[in-house]
Amino acid sequence: TVSELKSLLSRLDGRGYKAYRELEGIYRLAPELSFYLDRAQGDPFAAPSRVRVRLAMAEARFPAALLSNQVRKMALQDYILRAFARELKALSRPRGTGGSGLYRVDAGGQEIIFRSGCLVEEEFVEVRFFMGLPAAGRRILGQTALSMILEEIPRAARALRYSFHPARELEAFVDLVEDVEYIRGQLDDLGLVAFVGDGAILPRRSGVDDRPLKEGAVIFSSPPELRVKLDTRHHGSVSGMGIPSGVTLIVGGGFHGKTTLLEALSRGVYPHIPGDGRQWVITHSRAVKVRSEDGRFVAGVDISPFIADLPLGRSTRFFSTEDASGSTSLAAAIMEALEIGAKVLLIDEDTAATNFLIRDARMQALIPRDKEPIVPFVDKVRLLLRDYGVSTILVLGGSGDYLDVADRVIALDNYRVYDLTARAREVGRRLPSRRQPEGGDSFGLVCPRRPLPESFKPRRGRRERVKTRGLREIIFGQEVIDVSLVEQLVDDSQARTIAEIIRYFGHHLAPKGVGLREGVEMALELIRQKGFDALVGYPAGDLAFPRSFEVAAAINRLRSLKVQQ
């Protein structure tokens, strides 16, 4: 209660920082509003304290229609969290040593992802965040703490009330996410792997700024041959380009926007906030962007569909390396994605080894088949579709050999999209590639793997610590996992969740001999069913839901990983 909080803080005022620990607990700030100090930081420079506020639904009064299914609820939580973050940010200011007086809310970026920071339940609405408990030097500033908790936080907590929000905007946000997921759920039945709505703005401000390009963006408009109109629940029928399943090439001159389109598709596995420009770019949930990654680690992957035995008789059925090449890393990335259940591969020439993609007629004549271990992707892409039902979208400006294997050819010309399928057929007839197919008569096997328990044992008897450095690295014990090129990992908080899943895998799943795919799915299912707290064991405020592909991608890059096929 408020009076307890007041007397406690006046007692703590001026004392050493560690005494903030005594404040940990739950306080009723108003009849329906509770403040939780879950974990007080040890000093003003340490990671900020973990706190929550909870408002009873009787006061919050969000209409049931906003919560009528999981997707709508997730969207509502996201919206509330963003609004709360804006309110609190306006109140955040340095007030003393270190992080004194600062607030942090983990509210996400352009993508809308299920996260731990906001919880809407039947009985209450809760937001979780971080605050720097204030100090001068290392002495507690009790009065400042009091005004933060008693005045500022309740003011920001207005965002936990339905009445605080512009109803139209809130509804539009929730309806948008619902419709995006509704369309995504229909892609398979429609025979599509992706949809790009007319009017989309694809280019971004810069490589480090994911917001839409401010000026001069050419608005997306679908070519008539690929135009589809999709029904939605709230937006009537939405028109745009449907990319059918099969093999799709994206061609066109350099700088004409190919990579930008593919990147939008790669991010299109997530819904986007209104105003992002990519709200109606909707990609199959099992689409995986794969790329070359020189120097990466690979553990026991069967890459034999793409790479026959290597020089000096090294087998590729159980391929491990500390230092993969451009082609072996891409082969491994594809096989790893298939192992987890990819249904669409996204590949960009900019980030794919040339000798993996193509081997033209003249090179075939010069270097005989038995001297070249690599079976180029051009000879496997149709077998992959036939044997596994896996579609490919490939950006390629430099080789026409793919014209023979493509179902669709999309061209970019001055950022405008055209369907060149018929022209490509005609060119293919007129100028035969004269290649010999080298792919054999089937794609080959995808071998599931089981991570061995010792993979997760931290070295030198240390307890494993997990943390992350932004989107670049996940640190597990002594191992640093480089995830900087795992492109569909889009949020720091996903990386944190993955770090926790790796720990969970090591403790609970690997010892039971659970396979990689099953284990990753079990961990994600735990979060879906019981929430993020069940994974980490405390009320977490900065976790976001990763896809199974990105979790597996991180485990696959753990240099201590050992597997059995």
User: Which residues form the interface with ligand ADP (CB under 6 A)?
Assistant: 202-203, 213, 216-218, 252, 254-260, 412, 415
Q: Which residue is nearest to Mg ion (CB)?
A: 259
Q: In the complex, what is the shortest distance from the CB of residue 241 to ligand ADP, in angstroms, rounded to a whole number?
A: 13
Shortest Å, Cβ 346 to ligand ADP: 13
What phi-psi label fits residue 414: left (phi over 0), alpha (psi between -120 and 50 degrees) or beta?
left
Nearest to 339 by CA among 449, 424, 242, 231: 449
Residue 202's binding partner among ligand ADP, Mg ion, none (Cβ under 5 to 8 angstroms by kind) is ligand ADP
Q: Which is nearer to ligand ADP, 213 or 522 (CB)?
A: 213
Q: Which of 4, 350, 426, 454 binds Mg ion (CB under 5 A)?
A: 350
CB of 360 to Mg ion, least distance (A): 21
Q: Which is nearer to ligand ADP, 184 or 256 (CB)?
A: 256
Residue 188 region by backbone torsions, left for phi larger than 0, else alpha for psi between -120 and 50, else beta? alpha
Give the 3-state secondary structure of residue 128.
Answer: strand
Q: Which is nearer to ligand ADP, 396 or 509 (CB)?
A: 396
Cα–Cα distance between 73 and 50 in angstroms, integer? 24
Per CB under 5 A, does 309 bind Mg ion? no
Smallest distance from the beta carbon of 235 to ligand ADP, in angstroms? 22
Determine contact, residues 517/564, Cβ cutoff 8 Å. Answer: no
214 or 430, CB closer to ligand ADP?
214
Structure tokens at 232: 């939605």
Residue among 277 and 451 whose Cβ is closer to ligand ADP: 277
Instruction: Determine the Cα–Cα distance for residues 250 and 422; give it in Å rounded to an integer.
Output: 14
Which of Mg ion, ligand ADP, none does 17 bind, CB closer than 5 to 8 A by kind? Answer: none
Instruction: Read off φ and ψ for residue 223, nearest 5 degrees.
Output: -70, 140
Minimum distance of ligand ADP from residue 349's CB (angstroms): 8
Which residue's CB is nearer to ligand ADP, number 167 or number 219? 219
260 binds, among ligand ADP, Mg ion, none (CB under 5 to 8 A by kind): ligand ADP
**Smallest gap from residue 266 Cβ to Mg ion (A):** 13
Which helix (H) or strand (E) element contains residue 10?
helix 2-12
Torsion sign over Cα 543, 544, 550, 551: positive
222 DSSP assignment: -
**In whole angstroms, how close is the CB of 260 to ligand ADP at the nearest point?**
3
- Which window, 298-306, 350-358, 538-546, 553-561, contacts Mg ion (CB under 5 A)? 350-358
Q: Spell out the SS3 assignment of 165-205.
A: CCHHHHHHHHHHHHHHHHHHHHHHHHCEEEEEECCCCCCEE
Compare residues 324 and 417 and give the one whose CB is closer to ligand ADP: 417
Kindly state the DSSP code that residue 286 receives in the 8-state scheme: T
- Residue of 406, 270, 388 whose CA lies nearest to 338: 388
Placement of tokens 């099969």 in the chain = 246
Residue 420 tokens, joined? 């060149």
Q: Shortest approach of ligand ADP to residue 382 CB, angstroms?
A: 24
Q: Which is nearer to Mg ion, 100 or 351 (CB)?
A: 351
Q: Among Mg ion, ligand ADP, none, what binds residue 294 when CB lies within 5 to 8 Å by partner kind?
A: none
DSSP structural state of residue 111: B
The two tokens of residue 464 are 């494993």
Do residues 412 and 257 touch, judged by C-beta distance below 8 A? yes
**Helices 548-556 and 326-340, packing angle to 10 deg:** 140
- The CA distance from 228 to 196, in Å, is 10
Select from Mg ion, ligand ADP, none the partner in contact with residue 203, using the beta carbon and a kind-dependent cut-off of 5 to 8 Å. Answer: ligand ADP
Residue 259 touches Mg ion, criterion: CB under 5 A: yes
Token look-up 């069967």 returns 302
Measured in whole angstroms, how far is the alpha carbon of residue 172 from the centre of its chain? 23
Regarding 351 and contact with Mg ion (CB under 5 A), the answer is no
- Minimum CB separation of residue 414 from Mg ion in Å reads 15
Q: 430 and 270 in contact (C-beta within 8 Å)?
A: no
Q: How far is the CB of 398 from ligand ADP (least distance, A)?
A: 11
Q: Does 255 bind Mg ion (CB under 5 A)?
A: no
Of 209 and 441, nearer to ligand ADP (C-beta) is 209
In angstroms, give the least distance from the CB of 259 to Mg ion.
3
Task: Work out what residue 20 binds among ligand ADP, Mg ion, none; the CB cut-off runs from 5 to 8 Å by kind.
Answer: none
Q: Would you say 98 or 397 has its CB closer to Mg ion?
A: 397
- The β-bridge relationship of strands 391-395 and 287-289 is unpaired
Cα–Cα distance, 315 to 309 (Å, whole number): 5
Nearer to ligand ADP, 277 or 444 (CB): 277
Q: What six digits make up the tokens of 113?
A: 């992802």
Taking the complex as a whole, the smallest distance from the CB of residue 488 to ligand ADP amounts, in Å, to 17
Pick one of Mg ion, ligand ADP, none as the site partner of residue 255 (Cβ within 5 to 8 A by kind): ligand ADP
Which residue in the block uniquely carries the two structure tokens 């908790």? 149
Quick check: 398 binds Mg ion (CB under 5 A)?
Answer: no
Choose the contact partner of 256 out of ligand ADP, Mg ion, none; CB within 5 to 8 A by kind: ligand ADP
Q: Which does 41 bind (CB under 5 to 8 A by kind): Mg ion, ligand ADP, none?
A: none
- Cβ–Cβ < 8 Å for 226, 241: yes
Write out the residues near Mg ion by the rule CB under 5 A.
258-259, 350
